[in-house]
Amino acid sequence: MYYLCSINLKHNLEIFLLSSEFGCGRRGASLGPSAVMLEDFDRNGTFFKNNKVEIINSEIEKIENGDNSKWAKNIDNIIKYGNNALIKIEKSLDNGKFPVIFSGDHSNAIATISAFKNKYYNKNIGVIWIDAHADLHSPYTTPSGNIHGMALGALLGDVYCSSKKNEINNEDFIAWKKLIELGDKKIHPKIYPSDLVYIDIRELEEAEWTDIRDNNIKYFEPDEIREKTPELIAKETLKYLANCDLIYVSFDVDSLSPSISKGTGTSSEGGIMLEDAICMLKIFMESSKTAGIEFTEINPLADTENKMAKAVLKIIDAIF
C-alpha cells in the first residue's frame, strides 16, 4: 500500500527553473523551463502563480560556452552552475520544501540529486529515471562528449563503470572527479545501482547495457510497460525501492511518444503515451518517500505551438 506524501504538497512546493543547456549538443533546452511557466500563465493557470519560483539562470552570455574537452564538453561550466543550483535546492530542503524542478538538459540532475544527497548524506536515495536513454556514460565511454548523457554515470561514479574505451587527459580527469563529488561534503557515489530504476529506456549504447547488466540495475522497457500496464510497473518500482529512505523522480520528456510532441532534443520512437506517464507519476507522488520531482529536456526550438510544455502541464495538473 502507498500512502499520501507526508509533505503537504499544496503548501510546501518550491519550483525551480534550471535554465542550463551546457550538457547537450543542441540549443533550446535552456528555454524549456520558462516555456512551461509562460504557458501556464498564458492559460491563466495557478501552479506557478501560487508557489514560490526560484529561477537559476545559466548566465550563458557571461560564461564561455566552449568545447575544449572532447569527452566532457563544458564540464567546467556544468560544475560552476551545478554548485550554484545545489546550494539553492539544499536550502529549500532545509526549509522543509518539496522541490519541483524544471531543467534544461538532463545534466542538471547531477546537481539536483547531489543536493538531496548533500542534505540527506546518511540516507539511501532511490532514483526513478523515466527516460528513453540511460544517461550512464562517462568521459571514458561517451561517443559524443555531451554530459547530459552522463548524469547517472556521474551520480553512480567510476566505481560502477565496467568498460572504458576513451583516453582522457589529466585536466578532464580532475574536472570529472570534481563533478562526481559535487557538493561541499564531496560524497561519492551519490546513489547505488540497487537504488536506481529505469523506466522506458530504449535507445542505449552497448557500454551502457554492459554497465546495466554488470551492476544488475533494474529497468523496464516499453514492451514490458505495455504488457504489465503502467500501474503495475509503478507499484513494482516502489516495491523494488522499498529499502530506500527517500525517492527522487526524474522525468525526461523524451520518454514520451514522439506522437505527442517532438519538442525535445533527443526524440525517440516507441515511448509511452501521456496517459501512461500520468498514471505512473500519480502513484509515485502518492508514496510517502517521494521527496522531489524533475521535468527535463523540453526544447521549444524543436517544437511547434509549445506542445511539449502543454503536455507537461497536463501532468502537473494531474499530480498536484
Whole-structure pTM value: 0.94
Tell whether the model's pLDDT for residue 9 goes beyond 80.
Answer: no
Q: How confident is the model at residue 230 (pLDDT cuts 50, 70, 90)?
A: very high
Q: How much is the pLDDT for 228?
A: 96
Q: Is residue 176 part of a domain?
A: yes
Contact yes or no for 256/272 (Cβ under 8 A): yes
Contact yes or no for 248/116 (Cβ under 8 A): yes
Q: How far apart are CA 183 and CA 82, in angstroms?
A: 9
C-alpha cell at 74: 563544458
What percent of the chain has pLDDT above 90? 85
Contact yes or no for 85/112 (Cβ under 8 A): yes
Q: Is residue 14 part of a domain?
A: yes
Q: How far apart are CA 217 and CA 202, in angstroms?
A: 15
Other C-beta atoms closer than 10 Å to the C-beta of 287 total 21
Mean pLDDT confidence for 220-234: 97
Q: How much is the pLDDT for 267?
A: 65
Q: How much is the pLDDT for 182?
A: 98
Helix, strand, or coil (residue 166): coil
Among residues 320, 317, 310, 278, which one has the least CA distance to residue 37?
Answer: 310
Dihedral pair phi/psi, residue 2, rounded to 5°: -120, 125
Q: How much is the pLDDT for 261?
A: 73
Q: Report the amino acid identity of residue 98.
A: F
Helix, strand, or coil (residue 271): coil
Cα end-to-end distance, the chain, whole Å:
20
Q: How much is the pLDDT for 63?
A: 46
Q: Which residue has the cell 530506500?
A: 244
Q: How far apart are CA 282 and CA 125, in angstroms?
A: 19
Domain that holds residue 96: 9-319
Helix, strand, coil percent values for the chain (each to nearest 5):
40, 15, 45
Q: How much is the pLDDT for 6?
A: 44
C-alpha cell at 167: 583516453
Q: What are 124-163's pLDDT values in tens digits?
A: 999 999 999 999 999 999 999 999 999 999 999 987 887 7
Q: Is residue 191 part of a domain?
A: yes
Task: Tell me which of 2 and 130 has the higher pLDDT.
Answer: 130
Q: How much is the pLDDT for 168?
A: 93
Those residues with Cβ within 8 angstroms of residue 268's Cβ, 6 or more apart along the chain or in another chain: 132, 133, 202, 203, 254, 258
Q: Is residue 2 part of a domain?
A: no
Q: What are 253-269's pLDDT values in tens digits?
A: 999 998 887 767 676 78
What percent of the chain has pLDDT above 70? 92
Give how far Cα 97 sits from Cα of 15, 52, 93, 211, Å.
9, 10, 5, 34
Q: How much is the pLDDT for 59?
A: 67
Q: Is residue 41 part of a domain?
A: yes
Q: What are 61-116's pLDDT values in tens digits?
A: 444 445 568 899 999 999 999 999 999 999 999 999 999 999 999 999 999 999 99
The CATH number of the domain holding residue 285 is 3.40.800.10
Domains of the chain: total: 1
Q: Is residue 1 part of a domain?
A: no
Q: Is residue 149 part of a domain?
A: yes
Q: How confident is the model at residue 49 (pLDDT cuts 50, 70, 90)?
A: very high
Tell whether the model's pLDDT for residue 299 goes beyond 70.
Answer: yes
Mean pLDDT of the chain: 92
Q: How much is the pLDDT for 8?
A: 45
C-alpha cell at 198: 529505469
Q: How much is the pLDDT for 265?
A: 66
Q: How far apart are CA 146 and CA 72, in angstroms?
A: 6
Tell whether the model's pLDDT for residue 229 goes beyond 50.
Answer: yes
Q: Is residue 278 part of a domain?
A: yes
Q: How much is the pLDDT for 23?
A: 94
Q: How much is the pLDDT for 4?
A: 38
